[in-house]
A = this chain, B = another copy of it.
């Protein structure tokens, strides 16, 4: 077999090329590589763990739900439909065809972390030894399909094999979280899965469905949301409900990060006109920015860590959204501003005991300019580690370079996989561990840290830091 058709994972992958740094990095990595996976933010449906039904086919497991994968194939001319995006289960033929698309376009992943993740998944989970290509597509498809029929590849078996310590999934505030009740009450389930509170759409008054949404919110909370006070109370209720189901964080993703207070009377007025369907977009934005302060206040009260994921233009290509729905790979980042935006919130709550604000960004220009300086002063602020487009080796290095000198290591959040692709979880965390080991090795090689310290930090980044930032 020619070397180009073999698929192998080099044990030193992603470690520094320089021999001395590689040696140091290897030691650092060895000490953390087997530590459990803490996943404080993500989108894997816990139903797969509750039901523990075998995964259906390789495409539905590794392609369709992973917009990182479908995005790049689409950019190379493959239709999202053929990849199963936004569809129910594919037929076996369709799945096989989707798989062939992946393998035939394998080169588009060269240099991307998607390639690293997919290779790790194929080799480490499924024992694949062939490099994906037009020639090998069917063989690999069959090998993975064969695995999926075995007990060792059922979701819970993989959960154990992945050494997941906790798996967090964002949920709508109205969700009854019964899936977590099922898990808690299942004596055969020994893992830990928790929800995160994700109220975004209830804070976007300009949505056509918003009056209906707050009606549902009121119902779920058993509170009349006919006025602003009731709305706040309903949110407080649902947050407590989430806390009772194990939640430790509330996640917020809006276009900008502003936190401008309104007088209660004005907030109440906008709430009323929005219920009547006549709020304009300025009023809606003003209300949402005001609500960020309320969410921070609630976090101070109920202890949920507040996390921000700002600066994304969702569904940039509306024709794609119309056909395939959301989360199809056409969410595109925009510039974001935090220093001025977060000032009202931080002046009120930035030094409040126990308050945590973890700020993520896909606009890397704010790392050194805004986030590290904020986290380097406010006890509450943590810099979210690279996320989404930036959870990749070079980006993680740029992150550590930009943030560490101003905020150190201990005001960063620990890795967040943020994925819908269950099988990519171990590979993603492994990538972060390798790259951080390399970053630390570089500091050791330049005598900026000694090896003992570096080892402590490497361990802290995968254990203490996520636990601390997310209050796990």
Contact = CB atoms under 8 A, between A and B. Distances in A.
B362 A408 contact: no
A155 interface: no
A228 to B, nearest CB: 27
Given A107-B453, A335-B337, A448-B393, A112 B343 contact: no
Contact of A372 (B113, B350, B389, B402): B389
A395 B405 contact: yes
A409 B111 contact: yes
A362 to B, nearest CB: 6
A365 B335 CA distance: 9
Contact of A112 (B316, B339, B381, B404): B404
A316 B369 contact: no
B448 A111 contact: yes
Nearest to A445: B17
Interface in A420-435: none
Contact of A377 (B13, B317, B410): B317
A108 interface: yes
Contacts of A402: 394
A20 B20 contact: no
17 contacts: A4-B450, A14-B448, A74-B377, A75-B376, A75-B378, A109-B408, A110-B408, A111-B448, A111-B449, A111-B457, A112-B405, A316-B339, A319-B351, A332-B370, A364-B368, A394-B401, A398-B401
A446 B375 CA distance: 32
A411 interface: yes
A18 interface: yes
A238 to B, nearest CB: 31
B76 A379 contact: yes
A75 B351 CA distance: 9
A89 to B, nearest CB: 25
A335 B369 contact: yes
Interface in A100-127: 107-113, 115-116
Contacts of A374: 316, 332
Nearest to A107: B410
A16 B77 contact: no
A37 to B, nearest CB: 22
Given A379-B76, A409-B111, A389 B364 contact: no
Interface of A: 3-4, 10, 12-21, 71-72, 74-77, 107-113, 115-116, 313, 316-320, 329-330, 332-335, 337, 339-340, 343, 346-347, 350-351, 362-365, 368-370, 372-379, 381, 389-390, 392-395, 398, 401-402, 404-411, 442-443, 445-450, 452-453, 456-457
Contacts of A410: 76, 107-108, 110
Contacts of A375: 75
A14 B395 CA distance: 22
A12 B333 CA distance: 39
A339 B329 contact: no
Contacts of A12: 446-447
A408 B334 contact: no
Contacts of A334: 337, 339-340, 369-370
A75 B407 contact: yes
A363 B350 CA distance: 23
A12 B448 CA distance: 10
Contacts of A390: 368
Given A319-B351, A337-B334, A446 B16 contact: yes
